[in-house]
């Protein structure tokens, strides 16, 4: 998809200006175009970039004696805290760092942003935000000077990377500016942020009358209108209000996703429950149809089935009390057991008797349970009671199937 060209709002010279950057697919090398005053050229929030004035963003170049990312991260956090630059709430949301490795060390250029975008764009939506020093090209190993309203901005580079910037917010004379620049250079060289004194000086044409002759010997002086460029920009910072809005939107999106997931689970359960009920109803109808068919198939002998419940006990000799007694008696040993009670009531058979010993009673019980004709009755015998003469009184119970 073709990306729309981005527009950069930057305060160069006196006013906020709107610049149009070349979009994707456009002719390579086409320079950014000045649209005019920012107030007249506010493009869509999706495409516009706000360049924060340099005076609002503090530059903090710090050397860390390691290249291990974890060590660098921890060292920077500690260093910022010691210097009192860590923003409120102890978060690093407002600190964006760029790292340059050199000789086993890491030069971290921390940019400490304000909490919010400056007026008149505080509360206005922008797609991306960046400090103005990172949106211009200061030139390789040079110093760039331009005005942002009443502020004079000096940006120093190491190679092509921006490593430091400072602003002068009072009307200084050229001599004072020279001293200021020299002082900054010496400080940066002393702390090894810069390897050498700036080798080139890039000036905004609006500073045409500024005479830096005699300073930075051998450094040529160039003029540039500082058109915005995205080469050094990483857009890592956002105002707190934007972050808050994004957090809320993220939270709302997550809540919505959870609600949708719950609704989906609810619907799945409801569907499963409905299907289960439907399946039961279908099974019930199927069984009813089967029963109707089976009923028709068995209708001719259904009256006999009903009557046999009453007639059967008087017709089937297997359940006759006499027949059962016959099977019981044939399991009695030749001597040693005498039956005292034989009772058949409501399909339950009870036999009581006395045996000369508990062992004989148990043998009788064992013979009963192994009898092919009596096995169906599930015989039970509690432990026989021993009588004073060592005889045993026993009771057997069985149930007709």
Partner 1 sequence: MRKPTASERRLVAIFVGLIFLLLNFFVIRWYSAGRQQLSAQVTALEQTAAEYRALLTERPQWEARQQWVQAHPLETHQGREAESRFAEEIQTTLTQNGLDIDAQQLKDSALDGGLVQAQLEFSVKGRLEQVIRWLCQIQQPGNHLVVQSLTLRRIDDGDTMNARIRIGKIFRAGKVAQTP
255 binds partner 1 (CB under 8 A): no
280 binds partner 1 (CB under 8 A): yes
In the complex, minimum distance from the CB of residue 279 to partner 1, in angstroms, rounded to a whole number: 9
**238 in Cβ contact with 24 (< 8 Å):** no
Q: How many chain residues interact with partner 1 (CB under 8 A)?
A: 41
User: In 65-172, at which residue ranges do the beta strands (DSSP E only) sit?
Assistant: 95-102, 105-112, 128-131, 142-148, 151-158, 161-168
383 binds partner 1 (CB under 8 A): no
273 binds partner 1 (CB under 8 A): yes
**CA distance linking residue 82 with residue 86, whole number of Å:** 8
Strands 151-158 and 385-386: unpaired
Adjacency order of strands within the sheet including 15-20: 33-37, 15-20, 7-12, 48-52, 128-131
In the complex, minimum distance from the CB of residue 237 to partner 1, in angstroms, rounded to a whole number: 29
**352 in Cβ contact with 383 (< 8 Å):** no
Question: Which of the ranges 98-106, 176-184, 248-256, 275-283 carries the binding residues for partner 1, by CB under 8 A?
Answer: 275-283
290 binds partner 1 (CB under 8 A): yes
CB nearer to partner 1: give 280 or 399: 280
175 binds partner 1 (CB under 8 A): no
**114 in Cβ contact with 108 (< 8 Å):** no
**CA distance linking residue 134 with residue 368, whole number of Å:** 105
Write each residue from 358 to 377 as x if it is in contact with partner 1 (CB under 8 A), else as -, in one continuous string.
--------------------
295 binds partner 1 (CB under 8 A): yes
CB nearer to partner 1: give 231 or 326: 326
CB nearer to partner 1: give 230 or 400: 400
Write each residue from 330 to 349 as x if it is in contact with partner 1 (CB under 8 A), else as -, in one continuous string.
--------xxxxxxxxx---
In the complex, minimum distance from the CB of residue 248 to partner 1, in angstroms, rounded to a whole number: 12
In the complex, minimum distance from the CB of residue 354 to partner 1, in angstroms, rounded to a whole number: 10
| 73-84: burial string, b at 16+ Cβ within 10 Å, e else | eebbeebbeeee
Beta bridge pairs of residue 25? none
Question: Which of the ranges 15-23, 144-152, 193-201, 308-316 carries the binding residues for partner 1, by CB under 8 A?
Answer: 308-316
297, 382, 388, 389: residue in contact with partner 1 (rule CB under 8 A)? 297
**354 in Cβ contact with 335 (< 8 Å):** no
389 binds partner 1 (CB under 8 A): no
Residue 389: name the closest of 340, 354, 338 by CA.
354
258 binds partner 1 (CB under 8 A): no
- Tokens at 63, concatenated: 């050397």
Sign of CA dihedral 115, 121, 127, 132: negative
**CA distance linking residue 168 with residue 147, whole number of Å:** 9
**145 in Cβ contact with 203 (< 8 Å):** yes
36 binds partner 1 (CB under 8 A): no
CB nearer to partner 1: give 160 or 284: 284
322 binds partner 1 (CB under 8 A): yes
In the complex, minimum distance from the CB of residue 322 to partner 1, in angstroms, rounded to a whole number: 5
Question: Which of the ranges 58-66, 82-90, 272-280, 367-375 carries the binding residues for partner 1, by CB under 8 A?
Answer: 272-280
Residue with tokens 């060592």: 390
**CA distance linking residue 26 with residue 28, whole number of Å:** 6
Beta bridge pairs of residue 18? 9, 36
In the complex, minimum distance from the CB of residue 270 to partner 1, in angstroms, rounded to a whole number: 9
**162 in Cβ contact with 156 (< 8 Å):** yes
Strands 48-52 and 95-102: unpaired
Name the DSSP class of 67: -
In the complex, minimum distance from the CB of residue 343 to partner 1, in angstroms, rounded to a whole number: 4
301, 378, 383, 386: residue in contact with partner 1 (rule CB under 8 A)? 301
In the complex, minimum distance from the CB of residue 247 to partner 1, in angstroms, rounded to a whole number: 16
- Tokens at 28, concatenated: 């390579």
317 binds partner 1 (CB under 8 A): yes
Helix axes of 240-298 and 302-315: crossing angle, nearest 10 degrees: 70
27, 28, 175, 304: residue in contact with partner 1 (rule CB under 8 A)? 304
Note the residues at the interface with partner 1 (CB under 8 A). 273, 276-277, 280-281, 283-284, 287-288, 290-291, 294-295, 297-298, 301, 304-308, 310-311, 313-317, 320-322, 325, 338-346
């Amino acid at each position: 998809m073709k990306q729309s060209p981005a527009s950069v709002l930057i305060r160069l010279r006196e006013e906020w200006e709107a610049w149009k950057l070349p979009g994707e697919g456009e002719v390579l090398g086409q320079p950014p175009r000045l649209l005019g005053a920012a107030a007249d050229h506010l493009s869509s929030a999706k495409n516009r970039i706000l360049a924060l004035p340099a005076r609002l963003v503090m530059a903090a170049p710090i050397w860390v004696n390691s290249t291990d990312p974890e060590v660098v991260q921890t060292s920077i956090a500690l260093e910022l805290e010691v210097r009192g630059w860590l923003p409120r709430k102890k978060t690093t949301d407002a600190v964006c760092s760029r790292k340059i490795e050199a000789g086993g060390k890491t030069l971290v250029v921390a940019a400490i942003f304000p909490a919010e975008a400056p007026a008149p764009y505080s509360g206005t939506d922008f797609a991306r935000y960046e400090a103005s020093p990172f949106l211009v090209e200061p030139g390789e190993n040079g110093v760039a000077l331009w005005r942002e309203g009443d502020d004079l901005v000096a940006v120093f580079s190491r190679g092509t990377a921006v490593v430091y910037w400072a602003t002068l917010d009072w009307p200084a004379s050229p001599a004072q500016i020279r001293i200021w620049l020299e002082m900054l250079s010496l400080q940066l060289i002393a702390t090894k942020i810069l390897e050498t004194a700036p080798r080139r000086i890039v000036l905004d044409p609006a500073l045409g009358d500024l005479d830096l002759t005699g300073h930075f010997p051998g450094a040529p002086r160039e003029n540039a209108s500082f058109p915005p460029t995205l080469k050094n920009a990483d857009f890592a910072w956002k105002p707190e209000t934007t972050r808050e809005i994004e957090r809320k939107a993220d939270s709302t999106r997550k809540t919505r996703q959870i609600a949708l997931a719950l609704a989906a689970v609810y619907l799945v359960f409801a569907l499963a429950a409905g299907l289960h009920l439907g399946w039961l109803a279908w099974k019930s109808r199927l069984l009813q149809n089967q029963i109707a068919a089976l009923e028709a198939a068995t209708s001719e002998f259904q009256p006999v089935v009903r009557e046999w419940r009453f007639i059967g006990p008087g017709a089937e000799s297997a359940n006759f009390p006499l027949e059962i007694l016959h099977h019981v008696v044939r399991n009695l040993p030749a001597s040693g057991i005498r039956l005292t009670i034989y009772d058949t009531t409501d399909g339950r058979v009870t036999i009581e008797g006395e045996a000369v010993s508990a062992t004989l009673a148990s043998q009788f019980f064992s013979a009963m349970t192994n009898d092919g004709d009596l096995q169906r009755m599930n015989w039970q015998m509690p432990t026989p009671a021993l009588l004073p003469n060592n005889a045993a009184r026993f009771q057997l119970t069985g149930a007709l199937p």
